[in-house]
Amino acid sequence: MTLKGRDIVSVFDFSRDEIEYLFKKAEELNDIRRGRTLNIATGKLAAITFFEPSTRTRLSFTMAMKRLGGDILDFGEVERTSIAKGETLADTIRMIDGYGVDLIVLRHPSEGASKLAAEVAEAPVINAGDGSREHPTQALLDLYTIWREYSCIDGLNVGVMGDLKYGRTPSSLSYALSMFSNVKVYYIAPKPLQIREEVLSRVKGKIEYLKCEDLREVIDKLDVLYVTRIQRERLPHPEDYEKLKGLYTVTPSSLKGCKDNLIVMHPLPRVTELSHEVDEMKHARYFQQAVNGMVIRAALIKEILGL
Ligand code: NCD
């Protein structure tokens, strides 16, 4: 099995076998959780080109590269680059690629940006989030977190809750889950934020799914509850945020009646949709989930670089 040189634009750039292979490869890198730096990627350089705010994705790719012993070329703030002068994405990527970097990690507000970058760059491109469409490495770390908990993905009941319409993590997670067997997904959201038809059409027949508005209707069935924030910056009418915020908040009492081994996940950042009181519950996994992101991204980088 080889991922060497592979562009990762979509979750569908992986097969199920490759996803499971990456879980195992990530487990071999567990030392980096304890702060060890491995000299696997010495002399290798990853360009971190982020055109949108990010904390975890940027830092975990950076940490992953450094823990593998490699280095990063950080694109920095968009305002300090020639993008502010009107340079196109294609020109920027072509130029960074020309410097001879080994990998380009790209986050961009436009859907399709990573595909374009992958077309112009010789170096492999990893999509670190493009608009509302996809965030494949988030799905990878989400599944890795579930797999570490349950040792499998098949047969699980997953509740995906929140802004399923404008968020990219619910789409990528749905696509990733659709590669496994007998998974049931409950899409829990107020009507204006329900999952897009385009996503459902791609998972139809592969997962069983049910849309609902109230977590209480399904809480007793879930093995995983994946909560997401309202994507305020992507709403077509920003004033809608005031109407939508507060429509749902997960608190300890919303989890009443849940399975004993339910895990609560969140890609983070959270705003008001997940109460801090849940952090103290045995179900909370979102901070471990973020750490898992560093490890599985390190495994992915190692495989893409053929190390
Ligand atoms: C997510 C994203 O950027 O899509 N964050 C992340 O990468 N962990 C979720 C979000 O911003 O709501």
**Residue 138 near ligand 1, beta carbon < 6 Å:** yes
Q: How far, in Å, are 19, 141, 218 from residue 30 at the CA level? A: 17, 14, 35
The structural domains of the chain, ordered by start, are: 11-132+292-304 (3.40.50.1370), 136-290 (3.40.50.1370)
pLDDT value for 171: 97
53 CA to middle of ligand 1, Å? 9
Q: Compute the average pLDDT of residues 40-61.
A: 96
Q: Compute the average pLDDT of residues 245-258.
A: 94
pLDDT at 63 over 80: yes
**Which residues have C-beta within 8 Å of that of residue 294, sequence separation ≥ 6?**
32, 33, 60, 63, 64, 67
pLDDT value for 95: 95
pLDDT at 84 over 80: no
Q: Bigger pLDDT: 100 or 243?
A: 100
pLDDT at 264 over 80: yes
Specify the residue with its C-alpha closest to ligand 1, atom 11. Answer: 269
DSSP letter assigned to residue 9? S
101-139 tens-digit pLDDT: 999 999 999 999 999 999 999 999 999 999 989 999 999
For tokens 């992953």, name the residue. Answer: 64
pLDDT value for 29: 98
How far, rounded to the nearest angstrom, does the alpha carbon of residue 4 sit from its chain's CA centroid?
21
pLDDT at 87 over 90: no
pLDDT value for 78: 75
pLDDT value for 238: 85
**Residue 129 near ligand 1, beta carbon < 6 Å:** yes
**Residue 57 near ligand 1, beta carbon < 6 Å:** yes
229 CA to middle of ligand 1, Å? 9
Q: How confident is the model at residue 1 (pLDDT cuts 50, 70, 90)?
A: confident
Specify the residue with its C-alpha closest to ligand 1, atom 8. Answer: 267
What ligand 1 atom has the least distance to the C-alpha of 135?
A: 4
> For residues 199 and 171, is the Cβ–Cβ distance under 8 A?
yes
pLDDT value for 220: 98
**Residue 170 near ligand 1, beta carbon < 6 Å:** no
Ligand 1 pocket: which of 54, 226, 286 to mutate (most atoms within 8 A of CB): 54
Q: Compute the average pLDDT of residues 200-210.
A: 98
209 CA to middle of ligand 1, Å? 23
pLDDT at 75 over 90: no
Q: How confident is the model at residue 65 (pLDDT cuts 50, 70, 90)?
A: very high
**Residue 293 near ligand 1, beta carbon < 6 Å:** no
268 CA to middle of ligand 1, Å? 6
pLDDT value for 129: 96
Q: Rounded mean pLDDT of the chain?
A: 96
What ligand 1 atom has the least distance to the C-alpha of 267?
A: 8
**Residue 289 near ligand 1, beta carbon < 6 Å:** no
Model pTM score: 0.96
Q: How confident is the model at residue 82 (pLDDT cuts 50, 70, 90)?
A: confident
Portion of the chain with pLDDT greater than 70, in percent: 100
143-169 tens-digit pLDDT: 999 999 999 999 999 999 999 999 999
**Residue 169 near ligand 1, beta carbon < 6 Å:** yes
How far, rounded to the nearest angstrom, does the alpha carbon of residue 149 sit from its chain's CA centroid?
18
Q: Compute the average pLDDT of residues 238-242.
A: 89
What ligand 1 atom has the least distance to the C-alpha of 293?
A: 8
pLDDT value for 285: 98
Specify the residue with its C-alpha closest to ligand 1, atom 1. Answer: 267
231 CA to middle of ligand 1, Å? 9
104 CA to middle of ligand 1, Å? 19
103-108: strand order across its sheet? 71-74, 45-50, 103-108, 125-130
Q: Compute the average pLDDT of residues 40-49.
A: 98
What ligand 1 atom has the least distance to the C-alpha of 52?
A: 3
pLDDT value for 281: 98
Helix (H, G, I), strand (E, B) or coil at 135: coil
Comparing 37-46, 66-75, 146-155, 234-243, the range with the smallest average pLDDT is 234-243
pLDDT value for 66: 98
